[in-house]
Amino acid sequence: MSTDPNEAFHDLLRGMAALSGNRIVADVARLYGKAAAPDLSIACNHKQIASKQWLVEALAESLPKPEGPVWVLGAWYGVLGALLLEDERLSISEVVSLDIDPGCAPVAQTLNHRHVAAGRFRAVTADMMAVDFAAQAPAPGLVINTSCEHLEDVPGWVATLPKGLPLVLQSNDYFREPDHRSCVSSLDAFREQANLGEVWFAGARPTKNYTRFMLIGRR
C-alpha cells in the first residue's frame, strides 16, 4: 500500500465522486492524480467550501445572471470558479480566475479543465491592484474578491473600479493571521471600508476561529 498522501486523497476522492456523482469532487480527485499543491487540501477544506457555498447561495438570490464575465480575484486554486460554473441557478458566460501567485493558474486550469475546454474558464496571473477593469473587453459583469483581508488598502482598491460595477466582497476578523492586512471587526466596519454605492446583500457568518463578512452590491 502507498504512503503517498496525494495518492491516498486521489483514491478516496475518486470513491467519493463515484458515490456522490458530484463532478467537482471528481475534478478535485483528478487534480490529486496530477501532483497537487500541498495546500490544495486547505483550499478545499469544509470552511473554505462553506464560505463559497454561502457566496453562491447569496449570488443566486442577488445577481444570478451577471451581464458579462465574472472575475474572481485572489482566486487561489479556482475552487470558487468551479462552484460558480456548476450551479444551475447561475448563468455565467465565463469565469476569469486571477491570482498574483504564479503557482495558482496551472492548478486552477486543471481543476476547471471541463470549463477551460468549453471556453468558460481561464486563469490569469496578475496583481489585482494593477488591473484596469474599465479597459477589459468584454466588460466584466461582476467582480468577486473573497480575499479583501489580504489587501493593503481596500478603499483604495474599490476606488479604482468603474462606478456601477457589480461586486461581491468577503473579508473577516481573523486579525491573528500574519498575511491579513485589512481585517475588519464587524459587518458595519466592512460596509464602511468598502463604501459601496448600493448594497443588495450584507451578511456575517461566524466560524470557530473568526467571522466572515460578505457584501453584494455595486461600486
Ligand X SMILES: C[S@@+](CC[C@H](N)C(=O)[O-])C[C@H]1O[C@@H](n2cnc3c(N)ncnc32)[C@H](O)[C@@H]1O
Q: Give the type of residue at 98.
A: L
Q: Measured from the CB atom, is 146 or 193 closer to ligand X?
A: 146
68 Cβ partners below 8 Å, 6+ apart?
93, 138, 139, 140, 141, 142
Q: Measured from the CB atom, is 50 or 60 closer to ligand X?
A: 50
Q: Measured from the CB atom, is 74 or 140 closer to ligand X?
A: 74
- Distance in Å, CB of 15 to ligand X, minimum: 26
- Distance in Å, CB of 216 to ligand X, minimum: 15
Instruction: Name the site residues for ligand X (rule: CB under 6 A).
Output: 48, 73-74, 76, 98-101, 104, 127-129, 146-147, 150
Q: Measured from the CB atom, is 67 or 127 closer to ligand X?
A: 127
Whose grid coordinates read 476547471? Answer: 112
- Distance in Å, CB of 45 to ligand X, minimum: 10
**Radius of gyration, alpha carbons of the chain:** 17
**What sign results for the dihedral spanned by CA atoms 132, 135, 136, 141?**
positive
Rounded distance between C-alpha atoms, residue 164 and residue 93, angstroms: 20
C-alpha cell at 187: 459587518
- Distance in Å, CB of 191 to ligand X, minimum: 18
Rounded distance between C-alpha atoms, residue 15 and residue 28, angstroms: 12
Q: Measured from the CB atom, is 117 or 168 closer to ligand X?
A: 168
Rounded distance between C-alpha atoms, residue 73 and residue 96, angstroms: 8
Closest residue to ligand X, judged by C-beta, is 74
- Distance in Å, CB of 28 to ligand X, minimum: 15
CB 171 within 8 A of CB 190: yes
